[in-house]
Chain A
Amino acid sequence: MIFHSILLECCNRIQMERTASSIYHLLRGRRSIQTVQDAHLFQLERYFGIYKSLTRQHFNQTMNELQLKGLLHRIDTEQTFYQTTRETSKWIATNKQVSFPFTSYEGLAYHEITDVFLDRLVLLIQTLTNSKMDYFSFIPVIDKPLIVGWVKSVYRRLKGEEAKFLAIIFQELRKILHHFSKVEAGIFVDRLTGYQSYGMSIDQLSAKYGQSVDDIQLIIINLVHRLLSTLYHEKDNYPFLTFIINDLTSTTRLSNSAFQTYQHLQQGVTIENIARNRNLKINTIHDHLIEIALYETNFPLHHYVNPAEQQEILNAVKQTSSSKLRDIKQQVNDSISYFQIRLVLALQHKQLK
Chain B
Amino acid sequence: MNQQVTLEQELNKHFHYSSFRLGQKEIIEDVLQGKDVLGILPTGSGKSICYQLPAMLLDGVTIVVSPLISLMIDQVKQLKAIQIKQVVALNSFMDPSERKKVYKNLHAYKLIYISPELLQQEEIIRLLQRTKISLFVIDEAHCISQWGHEFRPDYLKLNMIIEKLNNPRTLALSATATPTVQQDIIDLLNKPKMIKHVYPMDRSNLSFCIEEVSNDQEKLEYLTQHLKTYHVSTLIYFSSRIATENIAKLLSEKLPERKIAFYHGGMEQMDRITIQQQFMNDQLDIICCTSAFGMGINKGNIRFVIHYHLPLQLESYIQEVGRAGRDGKSSVCLLLFSNKDLFIPLNMIKNELPSEQILTFIYKYLSRLVSERKELPNNEVEIANLFQLNEIQWRFLRFQFEKHGMIANNRINFQEEKWKQSYQEIKQLIKDRTSIKEQKLNEILQWIHELGCLRKNLYKNFQPAYSMVDDQCCSNCGFSWSEWNPVQTKKAVNEEADWESKLRKLLLMNAL
Contact = CB atoms under 8 A, between A and B. Distances in A.
Given A137-B82, A204-B261, A189 B270 contact: no
Contact of A198 (B73, B249, B269, B281): B281
A170 B507 contact: yes
A164 to B, nearest CB: 11
A199 B507 contact: no
B499 interface: yes
A193 B507 contact: no
Nearest to B249: A207
B273 interface: yes
B416 interface: no
A301 to B, nearest CB: 35
Interface stretch (A16-24, A140-148, A326-334): A140-148
Contacts of A129: 506-507, 509
Given A141-B273, A166-B508, A201 B82 contact: no
B483 interface: no
A185 B275 contact: no
A195 interface: yes
- Report which residue of A139, A142, A145 has the largest number of chain B beta carbons within 10 angstroms of its beta carbon: A139
A194 B274 CA distance: 11
B228 interface: no
Contacts of A195: 509
Given A166-B508, A196-B281, A174 B271 contact: no
A1 interface: no
Given A166-B508, A201-B274, A190 B502 contact: yes
B507 A177 contact: no
A133 B283 CA distance: 19
Nearest to B271: A201
Interface residues of B, number: 36
Given A137-B82, A166-B508, A203 B271 contact: yes
B503 A189 contact: yes
Nearest to B74: A139
A6 interface: no
A190 B503 CA distance: 9
Contact of B252 (A136, A139, A166, A207): A207
B283 A197 contact: yes
Interface in A166-218: 166-167, 169-170, 173-174, 177, 182, 185-186, 188-190, 192-204, 207
Nearest to B276: A139
A243 interface: no
B122 interface: no
B23 to A, nearest CB: 25
A139 B504 CA distance: 22
Q: Size class of A's contact patch?
A: 35 or more
A42 interface: no
B251 to A, nearest CB: 12
A185 B73 CA distance: 33
Given A142-B270, A143-B269, A189-B503, A203 B509 contact: no
Contacts of A53: 268
Nearest to B504: A170
Given A203-B262, A203-B271, A139 B507 contact: no
Interface string A113-145: 000000000000100010011001111111101
Contact of A202 (B245, B268, B503, B507): B268
A281 to B, nearest CB: 20
Nearest to A125: B507
B212 to A, nearest CB: 32
Given A166-B508, A201-B261, A202-B268, A139 B273 contact: yes
Contacts of B372: none
Contacts of A199: 274
A200 B499 contact: no
Interface string B260-299: 0110000111110111111001010000000000000000
Contacts of B276: 139
B379 interface: no
Given A136-B81, A139-B77, A193 B498 contact: no
Contacts of A138: 81
Contacts of A167: 507-508
Contacts of A177: 499-500, 503
Contacts of A142: 270
Contact of B73 (A137, A143, A166): A143
17 contacts: A129-B506, A129-B509, A133-B509, A143-B269, A166-B508, A170-B507, A174-B503, A177-B500, A182-B499, A185-B499, A189-B503, A194-B509, A195-B509, A196-B281, A199-B274, A203-B245, A207-B249
Closest 6 CB pairs of A and B: A201-B271, A137-B81, A194-B506, A170-B507, A189-B499, A185-B499
Given A139-B81, A174-B504, A201-B270, 20 more contacts: A125-B507, A129-B506, A129-B509, A136-B83, A141-B273, A167-B507, A170-B507, A173-B503, A174-B503, A177-B499, A177-B503, A189-B499, A189-B503, A190-B502, A192-B503, A192-B506, A196-B281, A198-B277, A201-B271, A201-B275
